[in-house]
Chains A and B, each alone.
Chain A
Amino acid sequence: MKVNCEKLCPDWPCEQPDEFKDIWVVMETDEHGISEASLQMLTPAKKIQSKKPEEKIVAVLIGYNIKQYAEIPIKHGADKVIVVDDERLKTYYPRVYGQVIVDLAKKYKPAVILVSATMKGREMGPYIANTLRTGITADCTDFDVDEKTGDVLMIRPPFAAIMLAYIKTPFRRPQMGTARPNVFPVPPYDESRTGEIIEEKLETIMDPGMQLVNYVPVKKEEVLIEKAEIIVSVGKGIGSMDGVKLAEKLASLLGGVVAGSRKAVDAGFVDPERQVGQTGKSVKPVLYFAIGISGAAQHMLGVREAGRIVAINIDPEAPIFKQSDYGVVGDYRPILEALIEELQQLKEKGPEAIEELLKE
């Protein structure tokens, strides 16, 4: 597609889409290395590449003391890594990190930039897009390629979580999109993969215009809901903190954690960082118990990757029953009490007791 620059906003640089190539994935690091959330973005990058094989996947790794991690994205599917390792990047400031990526993007002209919608990614991504005078689509649940034009389709639920909008950036590059952590899996590690590592040096660096003056780590919860394999999630229907305690008992028996819907968070039953759904987190447990959760589309968006969903709800008409694997109609309280008791008995009797149970 040839863009007629006369029609563009004169504030935007006149560039043609075909000047741009490759798919960039911004890597976020912390004291443990590259975040899993940013490696997850290699999955949609690979999907786009499968339809545009001429494009390379380039991981962009910036920060201080991070060069050591440069091989990791390659093992997970990147073809190349651009590294900027600079002491002046020791503290993250959104504008400074954003500007480094903007400057790299001006030099290399990537066709696509994918950013994980972590707290930092949500803060930095729109700055990068805007400063490059291009579009960005937040919280995509999938990516595809328009077969006619070759444009990347950023797919996201608009407004409510039951529709999907296909958004493209036909006359600007790079095409930018974000996705929430856990919407995609990390591509498998492949020791045999190799790739080029390009080191870039910073000449000047933007004045952040701000300074981090105090940093107090908050106590980490035992297991984050994003990583939990069993989640007992409660809705407004849980009614009281006693109900939450029951849910916690079930969760701890199974080595799981408690989470909740937006309504449960609003009612104060569950901490906001444990909220599942469109305005909370996406989770991917093996097993998800939905207790007193009605099944609103916004909530269910957060559990699309859940293995199995068990729903307990007193309302036989609750939409959750059409979106779960095993549904039980009834008052959750006595059912959870019985379930906890049965599980405790099973636990004492040992694995042999399962055969007995299944024979009944």
Chain B
Amino acid sequence: MRIVVGIKWVPNTQAVRFDPKTGTLIRAGVPSIVNPHDFPAIELALRLKDMYGGEVIAVTMAPPSATQGLEHVLGMGVDKGILLTDRKFAGADTLATSYVIAKGIEKISKEIGPVDVAIFGHETIDSSTAHIGAQVASWLGWPYVYYARDAKLVEDGKLRVTRQTEKAVEEYEVNLPAVVATAIKALKPRPVRLSYKLRAKIEKPIIAWNIEDLGLDPRCTGLKGSPTVVANITWMPEVPRKKIVYTPKDPRDAARWILKQLFSDESVAGFLKKALWGEE
């Protein structure tokens, strides 16, 4: 099997701070990481390779600094990394991003060998849209399934994908090629291994493709190829709250204080009475 896995090199949102005066992100000194939600996708890709052979190719559209992210996943056992990089890809929304990734997958199919499945994480921690899987499927004309927890090949060459929704565990048999997006924390990723890291150091299996390599029209990529535009950014309006804070003498005092507040608060008192005694 030839499996493509999409990854994103993202700023670690847990470490991001805001400048309270300007409201802008302080990115300086914020370390980047491989998007945590991509790891189940990487793990699923590697498991498929373990079972059926073939190769796993990680793809990312990013500035050259994302090479570090590709090196990290090569250390997990991914065979090749493809960096889709060009200044003309900058400022892309999800449509323009998925377009470049889909064109990258087409180029892999043509020049390296046909891709059987493209796997993505559920969403990224820096923009949380969960768009890319469906959009890549739309560009490629492939069937797709979200929230996957596992996948295996079945007899007629189809991929049997298991997923869980709010209501059921579902299994689909999907014709290949297909797009699969994994659920958050669906699979525990394997650790980086020194031998893989060394192999990557020696073989240098990272290829960079720019807009000319992909043969794309600059009107279709980056900011120009993005239908959505950020018109403005503001602070989120605060929800009005009472903000009464009490430091109690002891736990009993705390409990009685809470109950006093709630039973003298019209918006909840009636409700609590109903909960306790079944009537208002």
- Which residues in A have some Cβ–Cβ distance to B below 8 Å? 7-11, 30, 93-95, 98, 119, 122-127, 129-131, 133-139, 141, 146, 151, 153-154, 157-172, 208-218, 220, 229-230, 253-256, 272-273, 278-279, 286-287, 297, 300, 304, 307-310, 312, 316, 321-331, 334-335, 337-339, 341-343, 346-347, 350-351, 354, 357-358, 360
A8 touches B18 (CB 8 A): no
Q: Which one of B18, B231, B268 lies within 8 Å of A286 (CB-CB)?
A: B268
Asked whether A328 and B16 contact (CB < 8 A) given A209-B178, A213-B160, A287-B268, the answer is no
B244 touches A326 (CB 8 A): yes
Q: Which one of A212, A337, A347 lies within 8 Å of B276 (CB-CB)?
A: A347
Find chain B residues with CB under 8 A from A339 CB.
Answer: 254-255, 258-259
* Cα A138 to Cα B147 with chains together (Å): 17
Give the secondary structure class of B's interface.
mixed
* CB nearest neighbor in A for B154: A213
Find chain B residues with CB under 8 A from A130 CB.
Answer: 95, 98, 131, 134-135, 138-139
A126 touches B230 (CB 8 A): no
Asked whether A216 and B169 contact (CB < 8 A) given A135-B226, A137-B228, A160-B13, the answer is yes
A127 touches B134 (CB 8 A): yes
Asked whether A133 and B147 contact (CB < 8 A) given A138-B129, A323-B239, the answer is no
Residue in A126, A272, A339, A341 with the greatest tally of chain B CB atoms within 10 Å: A126
Q: Is B208 positioned at the interface, with any CB of A under 8 Å from its CB? A: no
22 intermolecular pairs with C-beta atoms under 8 Å apart:
A9-B220, A10-B219, A94-B144, A94-B145, A94-B146, A127-B135, A138-B129, A154-B228, A164-B235, A165-B233, A168-B228, A169-B227, A208-B143, A218-B164, A254-B276, A255-B275, A323-B241, A324-B243, A330-B247, A347-B277, A351-B277, A354-B263
B228 touches A169 (CB 8 A): yes
Q: Is B185 positioned at the interface, with any CB of A under 8 Å from its CB? A: yes
Find chain B residues with CB under 8 A from A310 CB.
Answer: 258, 261-262
What 0/1 pattern do residues 124 to 151 of B give for CB contact below 8 A with A? 0011111111110111001111110000
Q: Which one of B128, B174, B241 lies within 8 Å of A139 (CB-CB)?
A: B128
Distance from A242 Cβ to chain B, minimum over Cβ atoms (Å)? 16
Find chain B residues with CB under 8 A from A208 CB.
Answer: 143
Q: Which one of A154, A159, A323 lies within 8 Å of B126 (CB-CB)?
A: A159
Q: Is B236 positioned at the interface, with any CB of A under 8 Å from its CB? A: yes
Q: Is B51 positioned at the interface, with any CB of A under 8 Å from its CB? A: no
Residue in A7, A9, A139 with the greatest tally of chain B CB atoms within 10 Å: A9
Find chain A residues with CB under 8 A from B225 CB.
Answer: 9
Distance from A133 Cβ to chain B, minimum over Cβ atoms (Å)? 7
